[in-house]
Amino acid sequence: MFGLKADWSLDVHERYFTMDDYAGAEPRWCTGCGDLGILTAVHRVCRDAQVEPENTVAVSGIGCSSRLPHYMKTYGFHGLHGRALPVACGIKSRRPDLDIWVATGDGDCFSIGGGHWIHSLRYNMDLTLLIFDNGIYGLTKKQTSPTTPQGFHTNTHVTGALLPPLNPLTVTLGVSNVSFVAQTVDWNAPLLYEIINAAHQHKGTSFVRIVQRCPMYMEQLNQEMQDDPSRMLLLTHDKGVQVDDAVVRMFENHQEHDPSDMAAARAIAQDDSLIPLGVLYHDPDAQRYDELTNVGLNMPMQERVQGLNAALDKFAI
């Protein structure tokens, strides 16, 4: 209206995200499945970091674990079997601003996706990689996976798995330029949260192997681990994850381990007598391939066309 002062401002309130802002569809995992606890931990980490859901992407392959994108109220990509990591690396190379989570399993990652697993570790792009390792192919009903214990009866080895299981930790620690390697279990919620949170804060590929319960096909193995904490070794150090004393008291075996010591990390990983829990290795200074792939990302289209024509002119006859 004429003659009235028109100065005004609109107060824009700062956004705050709750766990409901990250929770997608209702999970359809089996009752008692360890995947449920992992999903809750991921929601908590996202909330505590206040990552924007519209700038977050969950990527997976095939398997029970790979249903995670369906249960995240973020962007998601449910890829082909074993192909979660190349998809995630491709997204990161073109959209370095996005917060990327990768959910994969022992079969999806260590078997058909084995080549991508190795090279993605070497690329060390900024991804949070969670391995849901239940030691069996669960979605396709109890086939032998790369981490199935030797002698365990499956539908593909009815008299027992023939070969010793793959050790994901020793393989991962043998890859050049690896930057973050950790291991935890799904049933210790405080430790699970702290390790995933540390992995998410790390800039580079964070490899987190989660020993995960499968109540349908691997109940006996996981129940034995739950009932006998003496089978596990809690790694403690100022450079590792920090947990309350109440959590430390849950474990009979402790060891001070500096995660910057690669030789010590490999020795711990090779010891089959105990299952190490915590951060085995951390190198924040490892080279990141995504810092190279995003060079020229904001180049104007005209300059891109000129560069392409210049490259093609080299082949002119």
Q: Please give the DSSP secondary-structure letter assigned to residue 82.
A: T
Per-residue pLDDT, 1: 46
Distance (Å, whole) CA 288 – CA 280: 20
Average pLDDT across the chain, whole number: 93
Q: Please give the DSSP secondary-structure letter assigned to residue 230.
A: G
Rounded (to 5) percent helix, strand, coil in the chain: 35, 20, 45
Total residue length of the chain: 317
Asked whether residue 6 is assigned to any structural domain, the reply reads no
Asked whether residue 1 is assigned to any structural domain, the reply reads no
Per-residue pLDDT, 223: 84
Per-residue pLDDT, 87: 97
Q: Please give the DSSP secondary-structure letter assigned to residue 13.
A: P
Number of domains within the chain: 1
Distance (Å, whole) CA 75 – CA 71: 11
Per-residue pLDDT, 226: 86
The domain in which residue 28 lies consists of 19-313
Asked whether residue 3 is assigned to any structural domain, the reply reads no
Sign of the torsion formed by the C-alpha atoms of 103, 119, 262 and 230: positive
Distance (Å, whole) CA 305 – CA 165: 51
The Cα-based distances of 172 to 33, 141, 182, 185 in angstroms read 26, 27, 10, 18
Asked whether residue 11 is assigned to any structural domain, the reply reads no
Distance (Å, whole) CA 81 – CA 108: 6
* CATH code of the domain covering residue 177: 3.40.50.970
Yes or no: say if 108 and 65 are a contact pair by the CB < 8 Å rule.
yes
Per-residue pLDDT, 148: 94
* 132-158: pLDDT as tens digits: 999 999 998 999 999 999 999 999 999
- Mean pLDDT per 10-residue interval, the chain, length 317 residues: 56 83 94 96 97 97 95 95 96 96 96 96 98 93 94 94 96 98 96 98 98 91 85 95 91 95 98 95 97 86 90 91
Asked whether residue 14 is assigned to any structural domain, the reply reads no
Distance (Å, whole) CA 278 – CA 208: 9
Asked whether residue 106 is assigned to any structural domain, the reply reads yes
Distance (Å, whole) CA 37 – CA 188: 9
* 149-191: pLDDT as tens digits: 999 999 999 999 999 999 999 999 999 999 999 999 999 999 9
Q: How many CB atoms lie within 10 A of CB 108?
A: 30
Yes or no: say if 264 and 245 are a contact pair by the CB < 8 Å rule.
no
Distance (Å, whole) CA 276 – CA 111: 23
Per-residue pLDDT, 30: 94
Asked whether residue 2 is assigned to any structural domain, the reply reads no
Q: Say what the pTM is.
A: 0.91
Which among 194, 196, 191 is positioned nearest to 42, based on CA atoms? Answer: 196
